[in-house]
A and B are shown apart, each in its own frame.
Chain A
Amino acid sequence: MNNNHITGAEAMLQSLLKEKTDTIFGYPGGAIMPIYDKLFNRKHQINHILVRHEQGAAHAAQAYAQVTGKTGVCFATSGPGATNLITGITNANLDSIPVIFITAQVASAFLGTDAFQETDMISLSMPVTKWNFQVTSADEIPDAIAKAFYYANTGRPGPVLIDITKDAQLGETTFNYKRIKSIRSYNPHPALRDSDVKEALRMISASKKPLLLAGHGILLAKATRQLEAFIDKTAMPVAVTLLGKSAVNEDSLYYTGMLGMHGNYGPNVLTNEADLIIAAGMRFDDRVTGNLEKYATKAQIIHIDIDKAELNKNVKAHLPIHADIKDFLEKITPMISFKTNETWLNQFRVLNNTEKEKVIDRECSPNNGKIRSGEIVQMISKKTMGNAIIVTDVGQNQMMGARYYHYKSPNSFITSGGLGTMGFGLPAAVGAQVGQPNKTVVLLSGDGGFQMTMQELGTIFQYNLPVKMVILNNNFLGMVRQWQQLFNNKRYAETNMPTPDFPMLARSFGIESGLVHERAELDNAINTMLNHQGPYLLEIKIEKEANVFPMIYPGKAVDEIVLEDIAM
């Protein structure tokens, strides 16, 4: 061990290196200067990505974590630098992504005095972090970082914030880093009980119409292969949540689609026909369940989650299992002999054919009218053969990206689920591309969300990140407009928005770009974009008042999902 005296700032960087961090997203400022000063000499070890706004750093670090499976790391200075992170921290918290946020703080002698750029980040971030800690002395740094990594990426992952005062960065310490093995107040790996597995086996074998709901937990637990083995053996129909997208290879015979408000017809309707629901690493979000009173009306429910607080929170389970989903699947698959009845599987196919005819074909292969988002996404899907990483913003573009790209490999869909953060897309695409430099990263954004964080074009330009940015421009905040059309009698209050010349904007950052108005130009334009070596922005003018369907109207049950707007 190196026992020489080093500064807290140096100890912090060495701690990160001990945890094998090689990439940091951040933005310097006054209070964090000692850390950046030490970073200067470690360029060969640590790749720092300078974003254009701290919110961008937070989203990028999250997406980086998602596509690499590592813990994301993000730096910001005190005060406004730190508060700008809040949206990104909250986003990572709701979507359970391991990111360590390191914020600088004024010197400890000034704490609580309203000093220049002082903000109480511990109190501010408390409701939106898994854990946070304020370091006021250099000696505390290694242990704080060790705990931060341990908490962030074990159990149900989540964001952690470490606030480091300036004097702690400058103070001297002897460096002795010890990674955490266990903490007595925290049990990240609950033991799977044999009795639970036995009961689950009994319930499955007694079922005629089982349905497995795969959530983000499958991806977080790195249990996609285990899930595949389970569904292949049991032939059990599987549906995914929005964040569960890409947890199941959509080529699978048993994949039935996405759940929820704009999910697929079959799995939504048949949720209320199923006699057994196995909820695997998902949390019954209101966008998935619709009206809770009329949800899963005929089903026994087995709910497996690593977070005990999710069990019986929204939906009461007949068998709540507090365990890691990977352990559960590994245990139960070899023991199970159940095979799902073919007629039950066919019910999904019949309903999904109805959806194809009434919704998907019209969305993806229209003969006339303006370009539709679905056809764009499907075209990108075919041209990239499902091998790209799709990053979306929030709104109609997000639903279209989820619905019409054909996902094949884990963590290839990056979106803001729980928080629904407009402006997430572009910075998340930055993080995804930094994490997977050799993969095609395609951003699907609306014109509204893109304008929220478009300064990150500067980051894309600076690092020459070959992100393919597609702006689906309808000059509307499309999803809100859709609701205004459906529920507010087309009173389009403040949702109509003129947009800048996006291709020119891209060019001002030295980024190649294109613009498509007509369907006839689409194929070529997408080829040009995908074949381009560096970053590329493609603006596509789409149908202004297109809607996302199917849709479960607010307050309605999952089986009341409609394929088109008939009720209004």
Chain B
Amino acid sequence: MKETYTIIAFSENHVGLLNRITIIFTRRHINIESLTVSSTEMKGIHRFTIVALETEENIIKVVKQIEKLTEVLFADWYLNDQLVYREIALYKVPIESAIQKNLEQVLREFNAHVVDVQKDFVIIENTGHIDDTEKLYEILEPYGIMQFVRSGMISISKNNKELSSYLKELPINEYVKE
């Protein structure tokens, strides 16, 4: 059965590694739902958060192939209940409909914020689960959404070892003494 899995991988910061990782999905004809790459609390180490709808069996194979890459420190996979995850969404709506309709109540309900107001439009920011950002989209749709963007999911696992403690167990880069 296909489910939504989140793969989190930590890697060295190396040109082209993103490509090497996405190739693994492309080869198996797996669509990536969202992908974010960011720096971490450890200097020079990057974090990939990749969401895909797949069977667990295939996700495990993909994770092993990601971990096999020479510059990946480690990779793991999670179901949603093992994670705390968020995404940010921005909505650009016409100012007129924002005034006419009851925007204030909607903002309060979703704990959303207006981040910018211009003559013709307002920009609203919402942070939450994908369900929340999607629901707000549905509610704002009658307002006439001019632009909509979401960041892709970022997540922190509830149960895994901290990156820094994991790194301490790894050997450091060493050269042969001659």
Contact = CB atoms under 8 A, between A and B. Distances in A.
Same assembly: yes
Interface string A118-130: 0000110011001
A246 to B, nearest CB: 27
A185 B172 CA distance: 9
A123 B20 CA distance: 9
Contacts of B27: 127
Interface in A135-194: 146, 151, 178-186
Contacts of A308: 64, 67-68
B11 interface: yes
Interface in B143-178: 167, 170-176, 178
Nearest to A181: B174
A15 to B, nearest CB: 13
A181 B61 contact: no
Nearest to A122: B16
- Interface residues on chain B, size class: 20 to 34
A123 B176 contact: no
A131 B15 CA distance: 12
Contacts of A180: 173-176
B70 interface: yes
A307 B67 CA distance: 10
Q: For the side of the interface on A, what is the size category?
A: 20 to 34
A132 interface: yes
B133 to A, nearest CB: 33
- Most B CB contacts (10 A, CB to CB) among A122, A123, A309 go to A309
Given A181-B176, A308-B64, A131 B16 contact: no
Contacts of B70: 130-131, 151, 183, 185-186
B104 interface: no
Contacts of B11: 185
A311 B65 CA distance: 11
Contacts of B64: 308-309, 311, 313
A354 to B, nearest CB: 38
Given A178-B175, A179-B178, A182-B173, A123 B71 contact: no
A309 B65 contact: yes
B171 A184 contact: yes
Interface in A75-133: 122-123, 126-127, 130-132
Contacts of A313: 61, 64
Contacts of B61: 309, 312-313
A482 interface: no
Nearest to A18: B178
Contact of B170 (A146, A184, A307, A311): A184
Given A180-B175, A181-B175, A182-B172, 10 more contacts: A126-B23, A179-B178, A180-B173, A180-B176, A182-B173, A185-B11, A185-B70, A308-B64, A309-B64, A313-B64
Interface of A: 122-123, 126-127, 130-132, 134, 146, 151, 178-186, 307-309, 311-313
29 contacts: A123-B19, A126-B16, A131-B70, A134-B15, A146-B175, A151-B70, A178-B175, A179-B176, A180-B174, A180-B176, A181-B175, A181-B176, A182-B172, A182-B173, A183-B70, A184-B171, A184-B172, A185-B170, A186-B70, A186-B71, A308-B67, A308-B68, A309-B64, A309-B65, A309-B67, A312-B60, A312-B61, A313-B61, A313-B64
Interface of B: 11-12, 15-16, 19-20, 23, 27, 60-61, 64-65, 67-68, 70-73, 167, 170-176, 178
